[in-house]
Amino acid sequence: MLQGRALSARGAREKSLVAFERALEIDPSSSDAAIGIALALALRLDRAQSADPQRDAARAEQLLRDAMARDPGRSWAYATLGTLRRTQGRLPDALVAFQTALSLDPNDVRVIRNIGQLLNFTGNCEAAIPHLEKAIRLSPRDPGIGWGYLNLGGCHLFLGRIGQALDLKRKAVAALPQDFATHLSLAGVLGLDGDIDQAKSEIAEAVRLRPEIASVSRFREFLRSIGLVHPDWLEQMDKTVFAGLRRAGFPEE
Q: What is the pLDDT of residues 33-67, one digit of tens each?
A: 999 999 999 999 988 888 899 999 999 999 999 99
Whether the pLDDT of residue 12 is over 70: the answer is no
Average pLDDT, the chain: 93
Structural domains in the chain?
A: 1-89 (1.25.40.10), 107-253 (1.25.40.10)
pLDDT given at position 184: 98
Report the distance separating Cα 70 and Cα 92, nearest Å.
25
What is the percent of the chain where pLDDT is above 70?
A: 95
Report the distance separating Cα 184 and Cα 193, nearest Å.
14
Report the distance separating Cα 119 and Cα 213, nearest Å.
26
Q: Predicted confidence band at 202 (pLDDT cuts at 50, 70, 90)?
A: very high
Q: What is the pLDDT of residues 131-180, one digit of tens each?
A: 999 999 999 999 999 999 999 999 999 999 999 999 999 999 999 999 99
Comparing 12-16, 80-84, 155-159, the range with the smallest average pLDDT is 12-16
Angle (CA) 217 204 145, round 5°: 85
pLDDT given at position 10: 47
